[in-house]
Chains A and B, each alone.
Chain A
Amino acid sequence: MIANLRPAIVSMALFSLLLGLAYPLGVTGLAQALFPAQAGGSLIRNASGEVVGSRWVGQNFKDQAYLRPRPSAAGKDGYDAAGSSGSNLGPLNEDLAARIKTDAEALRAESPAPIPVDAVTTSGSGLDPHVSPANAARQVARIATARKAQPAEVQAVIAANTEGSTFGLLGEPRVNVLAVNLALDARWPRAQR
């Protein structure tokens, strides 16, 4: 064991310098130089340069005129981007059943259309930036009324921010909620609503 003492300690010291400092800092330098937008968190800024969010991090929207995201278990009020969390409730958990029931009733009050699964389930991260196309389509009438717009126009904005499966193979079709809401605000500015 004594013979192993020096290599054990020295190797940990060297590995710490190489892998703990040089590697992450080197990758940071390269990433910031090559892909500054992504490396900085894919932040979206408004006309005056303020950060309004990240392309990838879901936000809560409650206003009638906005596309609403999925329910979220991150933080007390949901969408706490400094405290990601899923609900971790099992399929037989009573709290899960109660939550889904309440949410489903609220959604039915808004529209009689069938409720897509993602509209009443929390995501793994609590920060899901997307909803399913069916979930978005279900909200078109409400958004159009609130914005005094034609439903077809709202649907067109949603369609422009919908992605299919990558290469037709990977992942599910999805609508980026923040992107849609930015586009809605650009098309029908807040003051005119």
Chain B
Amino acid sequence: MDWRGWAEIVFTIAVTVAVGWPLGIYMARVWAGERTPLDLLLKPVETGFYAALGVDRNKGQNWLGYAGAVLAFSAAGFVLLYALLRLQGLLPLNPQGFDGLSPHLAFNTAVSFVTNTNWQSYGGETTMSSLSQMLGLTVQNFVSAGAGLAIAAAVARAFAADRGEMLGNFWVDLTRSVLYVLLPVSIVTALALVAAGVPQSLLANVTAKTLEGADQIIALFPVASQEAIKQWGTNGGGLFNVNSAHPLENPTPLTNLIEVVSLNALAFGTVIAFGRVAGARKEARALLAAMVILVGLGAAAIYSSETLTPQPAMIAAGITDAPANMEGKEVRFGAAASSIWAAQTTGASNGSVNSMHASYMPLGGGAAMFLMQLGEILPGGVGSGLYGMVVMALLAVFVAGLMVGRTPEYLGKKVESREIKFAMLAVLILPLAILGFSAIAAVLPVALEGLLNKGPRGLTEILYAYSSAAGNNGSAFAGLTANAPWWNTTLGIAMLLGRFAYMIPVIALAGAIAAKPKLKPTAGTLPSDSPLFVGLLIGIILILGGLQFFPALALGPIVEHFQVLAAVR
């Protein structure tokens, strides 16, 4: 490790927050239906959308109506994408002539993109036609993120309401989040990426004659346009098998900065927007602080692990000066840019990678996995990270309330048994899906066939896969060959649980919160904007995650770390 590496990590987080903050202020206006500078261009499109959808933009939905709309929209997206992937071989814009996907791979991929996970059981350049990439995957990259933002808007309104019932209108929130936020930032980012070297081409591939006379087939795609929304929408599904480690997705340290910033900026911005809509700006900043501290700690842990852990394979080969673990990392990024990306992508339910986590040192890969297991709230997916963090804040005030014997409140809303039940229902889905499926897979021969590494590393491959799926992250310990019926199916189910079995209780929770009277803070209210509260919140997040996952982590990355130390002694 060196000072430049630490400086790059701090700089990256700082730029991310600095870009996200004004975006959040802007997004609050979008959610509130206020005028924006883009109205001139987009207002007619928006109005046309509502007319075609048959939606009255002024008609609110209660929590059941809102949840029903989310589910209907996701179901329609799933059916369309599944059909597109199955029929790929018969459809145009397929210059490589790829066949349709197998049923289990199409199921897994369709679920993956509709749930904003973007787990890749496939290698993009060897499986997907240009049409599937654009009309299928890119579309879901936008709208699954838009659905997350819509729900965040509904949750924010619930806290602002005083004995209300309506949470807003899902179709309006979705349309405005996509048109006014995701589309413009993606266009700007895509063009910036092209300028910096990322291709954007409809050609399938180019054959180069190398200097030594060999043929090299270079796969090209409309990369930049999908890269942009893949990052902004915390989707993470890359054009290529190796995602943003591929030099055509991410050719320079500058494109790397653009991509890693756009990966987290909007999720941070969602917190700022929440604060404005819910009338709780200071409290939102406290949530933001907790996110920044934890993701920063995660990056520090990964960077330390990748630079300080002795490397048994190097020492065995007589290479004593090995300043960083470079297996699976690109020279242009090195350990620092790889570590901050790993922390931001696993903290954010994005799942894109610029280095192969499967080759990380045990504690580095373990830290990345733990960031996912903390619930994808640091800062989480766009929208989903915010509502996950609000659930944690509710649990934090509840625990504090138990300690001092007062009825807990958060943002002027009493937190009572109904709210805590919904919150726990949401929170419990992660350990259930991660540990439950991992336990079965760890003893099932058909599942174990997919593993590349043995021993604790093999267990980590399994745990990482289900953590990634249930957390809707999508990154992988890619040693696992997941394109097989068992893995595609169970990971698909874990993704569905992680998305919808979390989201529905949260929307119900928003309904319950909205219906409560908005109280003025009293002397007995625990301030939720203080450093003390930030500490309490961080404590709750770590204790909850630790209690749930520490035993499994001890059998995977932690024991492997001691094996590494024993191997070099």
Contacts and interface: CB of A to CB of B under 8 A. Distances in A.
A and B co-occur in one complex: yes
Interface of A: 1, 4-12, 14-16, 18-21, 23-28, 30-32, 34-35, 38-43, 50-63, 66, 70, 79-93, 96-97, 100-101, 103-105, 114-115, 117-118, 120-132, 165-166, 168-172, 174, 178, 181-182, 185
B199 A83 contact: no
B327 A23 contact: no
A88 B317 contact: no
B68 interface: yes
Given A50-B209, A87-B328, 7 more contacts: A59-B211, A80-B217, A92-B563, A125-B247, A170-B11, A170-B337, A174-B331
Give the top 3 A-B pairs by smallest Cβ distance, nearest first.
A171-B253, A124-B245, A4-B72
A79 B191 contact: no
Interface stretch (B157-165, B218-226, B381-389, B396-404): B218-226
A49 to B, nearest CB: 11
B214 interface: yes
10 contacts: A7-B73, A16-B139, A19-B139, A20-B139, A23-B138, A35-B191, A40-B220, A57-B247, A79-B216, A170-B254
B311 A91 contact: yes
B512 interface: no
Contact of A16 (B72, B80, B324, B337): B80
Contacts of B519: none
B358 A86 contact: yes
A90 B312 CA distance: 11
A40 B199 contact: yes
Most chain B CB within a 10 A radius of its CB, from A85, A123, A165: A123
A96 B358 CA distance: 12
A92 B567 contact: yes
Given A10-B52, A11-B53, A28 B317 contact: no
A35 B211 contact: no
A91 B361 contact: yes
Interface residues of B, number: 123
Contacts of A62: 212
Interface string B195-207: 1111111110111
B240 interface: yes
A185 B210 CA distance: 13
Interface in B64-101: 68-69, 71-73, 75-77, 80
B8 A51 contact: no
B242 A126 contact: yes
Most chain A CB within a 10 A radius of its CB, from B73, B134, B332: B332
Contacts, number: 371
A88 B219 contact: no
Given A170-B253, A171-B253, A34 B195 contact: yes
B316 A56 contact: no
Interface string B224-258: 11100100000000001110011110011110110
A51 B208 contact: yes
Contacts of A87: 327-328, 356, 359
Interface string B313-327: 110111101111111
Interface string B167-206: 0000100110010000100110011001111111111011
Contacts of A41: 199, 201, 206, 218, 220, 248
B191 A11 contact: no
Contact of B219 (A4, A25, A40, A82): A82
Contacts of B328: 86-88, 121-124
B379 interface: no
Contact of A90 (B69, B256, B453): B453
Contacts of B55: 7
B560 interface: yes
Contacts of B224: 27, 31, 39
Contact of A117 (B139, B229, B248, B314): B314
B178 A93 contact: no
Contacts of A79: 216
A147 to B, nearest CB: 13
A106 to B, nearest CB: 11
B212 A60 contact: yes
Contacts of B324: 117
B44 interface: no
B143 A19 contact: yes
A24 B452 contact: no
A20 B222 CA distance: 11
Contacts of A50: 209
A96 B330 CA distance: 17
Contact of A84 (B11, B125, B358, B455): B125
Most chain B CB within a 10 A radius of its CB, from A114, A124, A171: A124
Given A97-B313, A120-B319, A169-B8, A56 B208 contact: no
B172 to A, nearest CB: 10
Contacts of B7: 169
Contacts of B361: 91
B212 A61 contact: yes
A60 B214 contact: yes
Most chain A CB within a 10 A radius of its CB, from B225, B328, B453: B328
B262 to A, nearest CB: 15
B564 interface: yes
B208 A52 contact: yes
B312 A91 contact: yes
A8 B210 contact: no
Nearest to A63: B212
Most chain B CB within a 10 A radius of its CB, from A31, A53, A182, A185: A31
A179 to B, nearest CB: 11
B194 A34 contact: yes
Given A84-B246, A128-B247, A117 B326 contact: yes
